[in-house]
Every structure is written in C-alpha cells, then in structure tokens.
Chain A
Amino acid sequence: KAGVTQTPRYLIKTRGQQVTLSCSPISGHRSVSWYQQTPGQGLQFLFEYFSETQRNKGNFPGRFSGRQFSNSRSEMNVSTLELGDSALYLCASSLGGEGANYGYTFGSGTRLTVV
C-alpha cells in the first residue's frame, strides 16, 4: 500500500511569507502528526490531528497551525515566516486511538528553506 506522502519535497520562501505543507496518510490511518527537525533543536512535536480534531499540540507559536480533512489528509501552515523556521517538516500517520500500541509511519518530509 502507498506510504505517507508529503508535498512538496522542497520549498524556498522569503521571510514574512506564509507556506502550506501537505500530508496524505496511509489509507485507513486517521491520525496525522507533524514534527519539525532542525540541527539545533532536533525533532520537536508540532501537533496531532485525529478525525479532523487537533488532539495534541506542542510548544510552538500561533504562527504554526494545521488542519485535517475528512479524508484524513492534513495540511500545516506557517505564517510570517522567520529564518529560524527553516527545517525539515515530517508528517507521521497512524491508526490512532488513545493508548493503542501502534506504530507511526513517517513521510520523507518537506525541506523548507526561508531566505
């Protein structure tokens, strides 16, 4: 079956602009999580959506937002981009459900460069 698909793979934006990243989870997976990976901070949790509702949120400013559609596809948006937002953004999908011992499947990520 198809894996987790993230688009675009690479993106270059200018400070102050906004950007939207997309993630299509594995068919049947209802949970989508987003992570930011940078050399300095490592992997940090942004937020998680399950059945179109944000279920968990990390410690990121309000410029970072997301949503999930009825087909479980998710988008994340970053407004007023800063140089420090340059990172690899990873999406992970899972079946979902509290407390279940399931694994996460990650996409290949979107490499965002802010200039």
Chain B
Amino acid sequence: GNSVTQMEGPVTLSEEAFLTINCTYTATGYPSLFWYVQYPGEGLQLLLKATKADDKGSNKGFEATYRKETTSFHLEKGSVQVSDSAVYFCALRKAAGNKLTFGGGTRVLVKP
C-alpha cells in the first residue's frame, strides 16, 4: 500500500536557522505530493504541492522538490521565524483516487 515516512520531531531551531524536514514515500504510479502545516488548535493548511517528477512547490519561503528517483519530497526553508513553529505533514495522493495518505508529522519549534 501507499505510505509516507517523515522524520520524527521535535525539531528545535533558532530564528533565522535553516530548516529541512525529510519525507519519503512508497506508492505505485505517480502520486501528487503535498506539505501541510498545522498550527496549535487549528486544522491543516496546504503549504505547497507538486504533481509530477522534478516539480518544485514553493510558498512563504518554503520549498520542496518532487524527486521520483529517490521517492522523496523534502521540505526546506532558508531562514525560519518564530511564527513557523507548527506541525508539518507530508502527504501523497494517488492520481486515481482522492484519499490523502499522511506521514506522522514533524513538530518544529523555533526559538527567538
């Protein structure tokens, strides 16, 4: 079946540090890949997405590149802020279905 594996947290960083959250997936075919962010007490917000190999999704300074050869979709941000403290979820959706399969989530804490 489909699965998503992402690095366990928490990840604790200082403001302006570089952030990387690793995400790898297992799926047949060519899934679409997503990063969602969840702030305390809220639902999930779509951060970025990529729908085919070598696509780069980007939003709010975050980037992730769809790497088919390594089945990865790592999230990066060059300079984090305290407001980036949240839980980040990597997810995939198979082209032929609507179900999202999520990774376990990575909690990020940015300290001033």
Place the interface of chain A in its size category.
20 to 34
Expressed in whole angstroms, the Cα–Cα distance for A109 and B44 within the complex equals 9
When the two chains form the complex, which single residue of B41, B51, B104 contacts A101, counting CB atoms closer than 8 Å? B51
Can you name the residue of chain B whose Cβ is closest to the Cβ of A55?
B98
B99 touches A103 (CB 8 A): no
When the two chains form the complex, which single residue of B36, B51, B99 contacts A48, counting CB atoms closer than 8 Å? B99
Flag A32-72 by CB within 8 Å of B: 1 or 0 each.
01010000001101001010000110100000000000000
Expressed in whole angstroms, the Cα–Cα distance for A35 and B38 within the complex equals 14
| Number of chain B residues close to chain A: CB under 8 A | 23
Grouping DSSP codes into helix (H, G, I), strand (E, B) and loop, the A interface class, with mixed when no group exceeds half, is strand
Can you name the residue of chain A whose Cβ is closest to the Cβ of B49?
A103
Known: A101-B32, A101-B51, A108-B43. A42 touches B104 (CB 8 A): yes
Flag B71-112 by CB within 8 Å of A: 1 or 0 each.
000000000000000000100000111111111110000000
Binding site for A on B (CB under 8 A): 32, 34, 36, 41-46, 49, 51, 89, 95-105
